[in-house]
Structure 1
Amino acid sequence: MKVFRLLVLLAVLVVGLIIGAVNMTEMTINLVFTQLHTSVGVAMIAALLVGVVVGAGLVLVSVVVPLYTQLRRANKTASASPAVPPVSTFDGR
């Protein structure tokens, strides 16, 4: 599994380097109070990274946190109720 992760990491790195090398045209991003001077490739990779971070944050807030809260409630309910021994249907044969 570690080798697979390393290969995926290297593939993503190579794709990022290719995108950065092919798109070397300079561009300026005008913000309200400042300007950013960068290349098109760096801007594309930064936009993809921001999209991944925002998407992961949305999944965390909309899926993971409610499931974690539900799991905590279920564990609290299970620990508060008295333990009932399971009924065995095994008759010794």
Structure 2
Amino acid sequence: MAMTTIVTTIAIISPGDMGHAIGRVILSNNPQTKRVITNLNGRSERTKALSYSAGIIDTGSDEELLRQADIILSIVSPSEAAAVA
């Protein structure tokens, strides 16, 4: 018998222009996903506003983000990808 895992919390690393839009789509189109989370420490006021408007919740730290997340999506520009990895 196959097991099904229900993902209720998705974390997004770097919820800027692309990340906040993907977070909004996840919350709008996936009824199983109850929360999209991120760590907004050190992020710009613009990124914070975009995240909050998309319904993304700030965990306050990377440690808390890792503790709460079922899945982590790293959504960064190509120029930032190596640094995030």
**Same fold per superposition (TM over 0.5):** no
Structure having the higher Rg: 1
Higher helix share: 1
Q: TM-score, normalised by structure 2?
A: 0.25
Higher strand share: 2
Q: TM-score, normalised by structure 1?
A: 0.24
